[in-house]
Structure 1
């Protein structure tokens, strides 16, 4: 997510979560929710979203509007809503992007408020689930890229591992069964408030506003 460096305080928290998950494969985390609305975590989540830019959601609020309002004030109100458990996500704005083959690809755009909240949750969850992933998995992982995957494939070919499966999953993320996803999360997370957050995001309706 851009070239932002993670603040030391957030790094320490992520390192502790990862170390605990790595040391105890069966450990289930029960006190994560309050870390999502920590001031440093939300501030870093906002900075990451800001660096990614992106279009506004259904409320049409953009970064310029947030900065005119006051970022600290805006983040403070989000933290309060999370702490009081009054936070509710907005519907997802759906737009259609033309593909090279002439078809349209649907794209869901969350509001800035929801994106910041999701990013804060990701900052806490990613170190935990990273501990469970095999070393040869490269997709959608921090610090890993396609070039590294190609190098590993070459090394395996040189070792005589020549069987290859070529697969392309259509609409993978849009077709993940939510119930099974929540069960997978619950394998590591027992904090009901975190699970409720994720469930709300999964159930967000989409609105075609354009």
Structure 2
């Protein structure tokens, strides 16, 4: 079941409609999105995206190769059934420590492949809605944007005469999330 990693037209059309609605009506609340996350085409594309990243198995120790051996279509159908029946529950995240470049270690959470596919399906549906609300000047964790793009924009603005740059690194801020006021906002 090989697919292109390019978003299929049918999914792109849905994303465009969601984005346009969110952009045109910022106060609009989307109440019926769950059925879109469960669509077979979205789950199949989410599988392809997760598969392209490869990655280690989660706590269940199920690998991409294991799923492919037993049949991706059946596996996706079972995931869809759990999602549509609302019996799906994410598994715990496998925690491993990885070395940091400057010394020490940082924790890395590895979700199961099943959870990665479900999360990717949710991202495919939710991202266009949130994108509509973000400022054009924001670059972090945005589709088709990178740190290199932010540096290029900063360079262009400096050449235009702007002299102030604001850069915020929140990576350590969320280390104390258990009592962080931001957590209550998310």
**TM-score, reference length from structure 2:** 0.91
The 3 A distance-change label for structure 1 pair 54 and 74 is: same
CA distance in 2, matches of 1:128, 1:109: 26
SS of the equivalent of 1:97 reads: strand
- The alignment of Structure 1 onto Structure 2 pairs a total of residues equal to 179
Establish whether residue 126 from structure 1 lines up as the match of residue 116 from structure 2.
no
Summarize deviations over 1:102-122 as a string: whole Å, max 9, x none: 200100000000010000000
Specify the alignment match of 2:64 in structure 1. 63
**Aligned-residue CA RMSD (Å):** 1.5
Shift of 1:160: 2.2
Correspondence list, 1:91-102, <5 A: 91-102=92-103
Higher relative contact order (CA 8 A, sep 6+): 1
**TM-score, reference length from structure 1:** 0.81
Establish whether residue 180 from structure 1 lines up as the match of residue 185 from structure 2.
yes
Shift of 1:12: 0.8
Specify the alignment match of 1:159 in structure 2. 160
Q: Say which is worse superposed, 167-176 or 16-25, in terms of deviation.
A: 167-176
CA distance in 2, matches of 1:138, 1:117: 25
The 3 A distance-change label for structure 1 pair 117 and 69 is: same
The 3 A distance-change label for structure 1 pair 144 and 89 is: same
SS of the equivalent of 2:171 reads: coil
The 3 A distance-change label for structure 1 pair 12 and 61 is: same
Specify the alignment match of 1:54 in structure 2. 55
Unaligned runs of 5+ in 2: none
Correspondence list, 1:12-161, <5 A: 12-161=13-162
CA distance in 2, matches of 1:27, 1:161: 36
Q: Say which is worse superposed, 99-108 or 40-49, in terms of deviation.
A: 99-108
Shift of 1:45: 0.3
Summarize deviations over 1:25-73 as a string: whole Å, max 9, x none: 1111010001001000000000000000111000000001101111010
Structure 1 consecutive aligned stretches of length 4 or more whose deviation exceeds 6 Å? none
